[in-house]
Amino acid sequence: MKSIQIALDGPAAAGKSTIAKIVAEKLGYIYIDTGAMYRAITLKALNAGIDLASSERTGQLLRNTQIDLQPSEEGQLVFLDGKNVTEDIRSQAVTSAVSLIASHESVRERMVELQQQLASGRGVVMDGRDIGTHVLPNAELKVYMSATVEERARRRYEENTERGFDTPLADLQKEIAARDKMDSEREVSPLRQADDALYLDTTNLTIEQAAADILKLAEERLK
């Protein structure tokens, strides 16, 4: 049976990973959360105490690192050098540092290589910032998802509240806006909509509506 590659890009809390998981499950494809990979190397760099601003040091660290993504009942599990770090990579410290680490060319080159290997020859839904532009330039379906920064901060706030964290909404909005700026202004493969990507504004869409929109587009390409 024919299978396709689906690239979902966009800024923080646009709904990429939530929708990607649903679409992958419905189509029986693998789901690859590339943000989790950048978060994992960031966690390692923070624990190692290396200079996060050094492209050379972080690139070298990544060459000696094993990052594995494994599907499970509760969602995707992330392993860093064999240790389950699924929760640890969502910490505030990692979130604050990840865009700096992700701006280094040495880090991005290796990540793109790993991501292309993971996706090779199979049906895949991959979400991130540069999937349609760099990682899977030939993906049959590319969608750039976004929503207003207010709505995205509100979503993260609700998510945090459920997990027992109480970061003020205004702080979350500032953090998201700062990360959007860094991700879209960096020199190496910045966050941007690929020329052949469709734009989906999820501000007023439920998760079910956004997933249905993307599934419909996927099914059209599978015909």
Distance, in Å, from the CA atom of 139 to the CA atom of 217, rounded to the nearest integer, reads 13
Decide whether 3 or 96 has the Cβ nearer to ligand CDP.
Answer: 96
State which residue, 27 or 37, has the beta carbon closest to ligand CDP: 37
Name residue 144's beta-bridge partners.
9, 199
Alpha-helix residue ranges (DSSP H) falling in the chain? 16-27, 34-48, 55-63, 92-101, 105-119, 149-162, 169-185, 207-222
Shortest separation between residue 210's beta carbon and ligand CDP, angstroms: 5
Taking the complex as a whole, how short is the minimal distance between the CB of residue 179 and ligand CDP, in angstroms? Answer: 5
Note the residues at the interface with ligand CDP (CB under 6 A).
10, 12-18, 34-36, 38-39, 98-99, 102, 127-131, 155, 159, 179, 183, 202, 205-207, 210
* 174 annotated among ligand-binding-site residues: no
72 labelled ligand-binding: no
Nearest residue (beta carbon) to ligand CDP? 35
Distance CA 207, CA 223 (A): 25
13 marked as part of a ligand binding site = yes
Question: Is 146 annotated for ligand binding?
Answer: no
Phi and psi at residue 180, to the nearest 5°: -55, -45
Q: Among residues 29, 189, 13, which one has the least CA distance to residue 90?
A: 13
- Least distance in angstroms from the C-beta of 12 to ligand CDP: 3
Residue labelled with tokens 């604050």:
96
Which residue, 113 or 222, is less far from ligand CDP as judged by CB? 113
**Shortest separation between residue 176's beta carbon and ligand CDP, angstroms:** 8
Residue 184 annotated as binding site:
no
d(CA 223, CA 221): 6
Provide the annotated binding site for ATP.
10-18
